[in-house]
Structure 1
Amino acid sequence: MNHGLQNPPVSKLLAVKSLAPAVLAAALGLALPAAAQTAPAPLKIADVRAVDLQLGAQPGRVGRAGVDAGAKAVEIRTPDASFIKVHFEHFSLPAGVTLEVASPDGREVYRYSADRRDGHTVAADLGEDGKTRFSAMSISGPVAVLRLVGAAREPWRADHGIKVSRYLEGYPEDMLPELQNEGLLSTDAGGKSICGTDNKQAAACYVTSDPFAYARSKPVARAVMSGGSLCTAWRVGAQNRMFTNNHCISTAAGVAGAEFWFNYQRSTCTGAQATVTKVAGDQMLKTNTTLDYTLFTVKNFASISGFGYLGLDPRAAVANEGLFIAGHPGGRMKELSIADTQNSGGKCRADAPSVTGNAPNSDVGYYCDTEGGSSGSPVIARSSGKVLALHHFGGCFNSGAKISLIWPQVSTYFGGVIP
């Protein structure tokens, strides 16, 4: 059984590529960018789609105790979508029966049953309780296959079954640059974060030419929130600790409803997508609006331990010291801001060691290129390889909140020892 897109289909993006921005915005149901604003909004890279699926209630699909439940699979198939994330409006299965949510090739498989829950997210702001209402981890690509497998060890009750009322559909990857350039992924004037020529490149382009920066980009992840918005996040220390912006995620529900994709990058400079490791958010530890940070943990931390961590450099920036930024500008696969044609050295640097962000002298200013989606990115000091600022504003100067101000507020979550 296949279920297509509604209001409008993802494939419609490709059909309207040549339209003027105002027409394109109307066709996609997106707002045109407003005037530049102080507080940016997270980038939008997916839409929530309505669907009406039920597994377990139909005669013949599942049935008596001891009878195999996996005779039929249900597909959610959405042409051109970059990922599909399924929400369970109701989830209740008898012992012995498992729901598999998988990609057609079986590379991604998540299993959910009465006594097992693989990776999943719980967005309380969407009415999810983590028991009968939650969301499966996203499946990359345009097809998610749902299949009930196993043999029931108890009778099927009236409340047993699965209802899917909506799913999150990612915009096509190859359309993200154009949509971002037209300002259709955000209500912000994100183009003003490109200072002069856009010098960002895919992270893998620096494997040989700047192996230090490439290696330090590994702890950086794509943050995908429950409503389809996107920012950047990163591992802070050896413990289960991650940072992003407060304007990206500011509540416990926001953390628990988000996914974090590690190694979401090209395998080579112009190559295909590398193998991605996805984890769900767990607990919010600390957040602050003025310094625009959220410190949080993730589930299944062991699966991302191999990506390493960045550490913190809580000191005053030195004028013209070397910097670079790793993140997911425009929602794209990981990119590095290293080159900078706005200064004579040709490299990113601390052009203004102290500028006003949300408070006087709260930020470090730089001309390193960023875009919507870069929010939450680490601004890394070339001298230490550790994070000197947390990027959050564009405007040329672009700027990040000083880690020297953030650290005193979060030090207790690291036992007082700077990672």
Structure 2
Amino acid sequence: MKHALRRLRTVAVALGACTLGLSLLSVPAAEAYSVRPLAPHSERAPESDQFSAEGVTTVGELRTVDGSLSYARGGRTQIIRHPGAAYVKVHFSSLRLADGDHVTVSSPDGEESYRYDRYLNRATGSDYTIDGQPGFWAMSVEGDTAVVTLHSSRRSRGSAATIDRFWRGYDRTEITQHNFSTMSVCSTDARRDVVCYQNSHPTEYARGNAVARLLISGGGLCTTWRVGNTNRMLTNKHCFSTQSAVSGSEMQFNYQCATCGGANPGPGTKVSGATLYKVSSGGSGELDYTLYSVNNFTAIQSFGTLYLATTATSTGTRMYIPGHGDGSPKRLSIYENTQGGTTCTVRNANYNTWNISYSCDTSGGNSGSPVLNASHRVIALHHLGGCPSNQGAKAHLIYNEIASLIDNG
């Protein structure tokens, strides 16, 4: 969430994280969990390489490591683990595979698995992200362990891949320590897991499917969502605004709890950013939008889409907000303070030239969330916090600027 000039970083905590390490094993796959670590711990990358963007929630740190895969029998699997990490995102600085061979980056239980060969073809393999430097980033794996495995029937001793960096996700306590913001949960936090509303508010629940968690360049967090009938996504300009940032980011759909209050989300469906189409002019207090597309669009089409309102909303209009505040599994803000109590409404439909205001609960990470009315049209793009006037950029003004680039239904 954007809180200009109101956020402070906890440098001491960030530096303290340098003492934490990564377990890096180089072992046969069948013995991956039965041998002692053979490689040294990782190190926190220089501060200049860490993620930092004003108003964007920091959810991870970059670490360096000296790892590799080889064709030798004892070098075909490496376990990359950072105790307590929320996710692990592995970087290959080089991939030296023969035709027919591939590597996988998987969770220990195999629920998540990404496949890469020498051609890095998204049509035949898995998605990935890039950052303008040599190599590529595998898609992130949920949890604190990634299993990297070479698959080949060849017998030789040559090198197959080099792993030099990885992002590891902060836990809940670390996210709080590394991110300070003004109050944007107004009074009691009435947000609940989206699945809690599956029966009582089925349309709000269904519309939330088009909303995804945005992992920015491995270490930042916002919310993003599909807009219109084609391959188009919206988020805030202050979340990212360059082609390189789009190409380096992941959009995670269906990251939500399976049961109400269950703290049991699955990994969802992850795709990478593709093409940057348009960025708003002006500062982050104005329209503050970025329009872009994703790779592997067919993988997310089933989650549906949202449409922009083309006329101004009005004060008192009922509204709700789906999003990933604090990087949490998707939640819905429908009520102001208590379940079944006062519903969220627009407090001021003309807070200023660009924004409406509301006191519906949000928090860091909700930046980029859609604000929808009772007709389930997007009336604003959430981007500023500060009770009692959390703010969203007026959707009809955004529509006026991007109408030729989207199919708004």
2:365 pairs, out of 373, 379, 386, with 373
The secondary structure found in structure 1 opposite 2:276 is strand
Deviations along 1:364-412, one digit per CA (max 9) or x if unpaired, are: 1111111010000000111x20111100001120011111111121111
Q: Counterpart in 1 of 2:254?
A: 263
In structure 2, the residue corresponding to 1:405 is in which secondary structure?
helix
Match of 2:57?
43
Q: Find 2:201's aligned residue among 201, 210, 219.
A: 210
- CA drift at 1:331: 0.9
One-letter amino acid of the structure 1 residue matched with residue 231 of structure 2: N
2:408 paired with 1:418: yes
Give CA deviations for 1:89-119 in whole Å, capped at 9, x if unaligned.
2223222221111112222111111234411
CA distance change for structure 1 residues 196 and 102 in 2, over 3 Å: closer, same or farther?
A: same
- Identify the match of residue 401 of structure 2 among 389, 403, 409: 409
- Cα deviation, 1:65-96, whole Å, max 9, x if unaligned, reads xxxxxx73110022211211001122232222
Q: Which amino acid aligns with 1:123?
A: D
Kindly provide the CA deviation profile for residues 179-237 of structure 1, in whole angstroms up to 9, marking residues without a partner as x: 55xx5232x424x1111222111111111222221111110000001140100000112
Q: How does 1:344-363 map to 2 (within 5 A)?
A: 346-356=342-352, 361-363=353-355
In structure 1, list runs of 5 or more residues that go unmatched: 12-27, 32-38, 62-70
The 3-state SS of whatever aligns with 1:336 is strand
Judge conservation of contact 2:213–2:223 (CA < 8 Å) in 1.
Answer: yes
Residues 8 and 260 of structure 1: CA distance in aligned 2, closer, same or farther (over 3 Å)? farther
Cross-structure match for 2:68 = 54
Instruction: Give the CA deviation at 1:8.
Output: 3.4
> What does residue 134 of structure 1 align with?
136
* Aligned partner letter, 1:171: Y
CA contact (8 A) 1:96 1:151 kept: no
How big is the shift at 1:274?
A: 3.5
Structure-2 separation of matches of 1:254 and 1:84: 19
- Indicate if the aligned counterparts of 2:142 and 2:267 stay in contact, CA closer than 8 A: no
Does residue 228 in structure 1 map to residue 239 in structure 2?
no
Query: Which of 239, 245, 252 lines up with 1:254 in the alignment?
Result: 245
Partner of residue 285, structure 1: 277
4+ aligned runs moved over 6 Å, structure 1: none
Distance 1:329 1:6 in 2: 23
| SS at structure 2 position matched to 1:54 | strand
CA contact (8 A) 1:249 1:255 kept: yes
Distance 1:411 1:121, change over 3 A: same
Counterparts of 2:281 and 2:303, CA distance in 1: 28
* Change in CA separation of 1:111 and 1:83 when aligned onto 2, cut-off 3 Å: same
Cα distance, 1:6 vs structure 2: 7.4
Distance 1:179 1:113 in 2: 35
Structure 1 counterpart SS, 2:95: strand
Map 1:15-414 onto structure 2 (within 5 A): 41-56=55-70, 60-61=73-74, 72-117=76-121, 118-124=126-132, 127-128=133-134, 133-151=135-153, 161-172=160-171, 176=172, 178-179=173-174, 183-186=176-179, 188-190=180-182, 192-271=183-262, 272-290=264-282, 291-341=287-337, 346-356=342-352, 361-382=353-374, 384-396=375-387, 397-414=389-406
Q: Which amino acid aligns with 2:358?
A: Y
1:41–1:411 distance in 2 versus 1, CA, 3 Å: same
CA distance in 2, matches of 1:10, 1:402: 45
Query: How far apart in 2 are the matches of 1:260 and 1:161?
Result: 29
Partner SS for 1:199: coil
Aligned pairs, number: 356
1:7 alignment partner AA: C
Distance 1:299 1:162, change over 3 A: same
Tell me, in whole angstroms, the C-alpha distance in 2 between the residues paired with 1:123 and 1:300: 18
Report the equivalent of 2:19: 8
- Work out the CA distance in 2 between the residues paired with 1:313 and 1:8: 50
**In 1, distance between residues paired with 2:281 and 2:332?**
26
- 2:281 & 2:215 partners in 1: Cα distance? 20
SS in 2 for 1:52: strand
Q: What is the CA–CA distance in structure 2 between the aligned matches of 1:48 and 1:198, rounded to whole Å? A: 32
Q: Any conservation in 1 of the 2:192–2:261 contact (CA below 8 Å)?
A: no
Indicate if the aligned counterparts of 1:10 and 1:81 stay in contact, CA closer than 8 A.
no
Aligned partner of residue 49 in structure 1, secondary structure = strand
TM-score (norm 2): 0.81
CA distance in 1, matches of 2:149, 2:266: 27
Measure, in 2, the Cα distance between the counterparts of 1:55 and 1:345: 57
Q: Could you say what secondary structure the match of 1:213 adopts?
A: helix
**In structure 2, what residue type is equivalent to 1:378?**
P
Rounded to whole Å, the distance in 1 between the matches of 2:252 and 2:228 is: 17
Distance 2:73 2:206 in 1: 53
User: Is the contact made by 2:252 and 2:271 (CA closer than 8 Å) also made in structure 1?
Assistant: yes
What is the alpha-carbon root mean square deviation over aligned residues? 2.7
Identity %: 38
User: Displacement, 1:289?
Assistant: 4.4
TM-score (norm 1): 0.79
Q: Distance in 2 between matches of 1:73 and 1:170?
A: 22
CA 1:258/1:275 → structure 2, altered by over 3 Å: closer, same or farther?
closer
Note the C-alpha offset of 1:151.
Answer: 3.6
